[in-house]
């Protein structure tokens, strides 16, 4: 992903914006079928039903019901990625007391964040 997706309901975010952002996240998960560490969520009937529910959502509450399962798939993928590619993750904290694990930023993205003024560091999220 090149940017932070605003799919969580907050004041001022419209249904259409939340829906489009959640669908972007879901499309990103589906593209992982072709990643070096693949996950094929798009083949699963439950995922397809979840996608249809998001596409047809008429209320923010319907989108909120879909957020947790989508977040769970993303978290499970990060865990799988960390197991298969431990050299390509960054750990914040330590395993003994608890840590957050994320895929590491590409070198060029890390460098651009280091050289950016602090106010600009909250920009687009890494891929």
Q: What is the pLDDT of residues 10-57, one digit of tens each?
A: 999 999 999 999 999 999 999 999 999 999 999 999 999 999 999 999
Angle, CA 101 vertex, CA 121 and CA 83 arms, to 5°: 140
Q: What is the pLDDT of residues 73-112, one digit of tens each?
A: 999 999 999 999 999 999 999 989 999 999 998 875 555 5
- Tell whether 68 is covered by a domain: yes
- Tell whether 126 is covered by a domain: no
Q: What is the pLDDT of residue 127?
A: 37
Rounded to whole angstroms, the Cα distance separating 35 from 82 reads 14
Torsion sign, CA atoms 23, 26, 31, 36 = positive
CA distances from 13 to 22, 47, 82 (A): 12, 25, 33
pTM over 0.85: no
- Tell whether 77 is covered by a domain: yes
Report the DSSP beta bridge partners of residue 99. 93
Rounded to whole angstroms, the Cα distance separating 96 from 48 reads 37
- Tell whether 8 is covered by a domain: no
Report the DSSP beta bridge partners of residue 92. 100
- Tell whether 53 is covered by a domain: yes
- If one counts the domains in the chain, the total is 1
- Residue 31, domain extent: 15-120
Confidence of residue 7 (pLDDT cuts 50, 70, 90): very high
Report the DSSP beta bridge partners of residue 91. 101
Q: Residue 39 corresponds to which tokens in the numbers above?
A: 């996950």
Query: Tokens 């070198």 sit at which residue?
Result: 107
Find, among 90, 109, 110, the residue nearest to 101 by Cα: 90
């Amino acid at each position: 992903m090149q940017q932070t997706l605003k799919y969580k309901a907050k004041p001022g975010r419209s249904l259409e914006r939340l829906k489009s952002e959640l669908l972007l996240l879901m499309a990103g998960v589906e593209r992982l079928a072709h990643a070096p560490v693949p996950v094929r969520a798009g083949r699963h009937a439950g995922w397809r039903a979840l996608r249809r529910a998001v596409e047809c959502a008429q209320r923010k509450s319907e989108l909120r019901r879909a957020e947790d399962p989508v977040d769970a798939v993303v978290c499970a993928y990060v865990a799988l990625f960390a197991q298969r590619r431990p050299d390509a993750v960054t750990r914040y904290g330590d395993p003994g007391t608890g840590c957050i694990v994320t895929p590491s930023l590409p070198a060029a993205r890390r460098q651009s964040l280091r050289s950016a003024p602090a106010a600009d560091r909250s920009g687009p999220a890494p891929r």
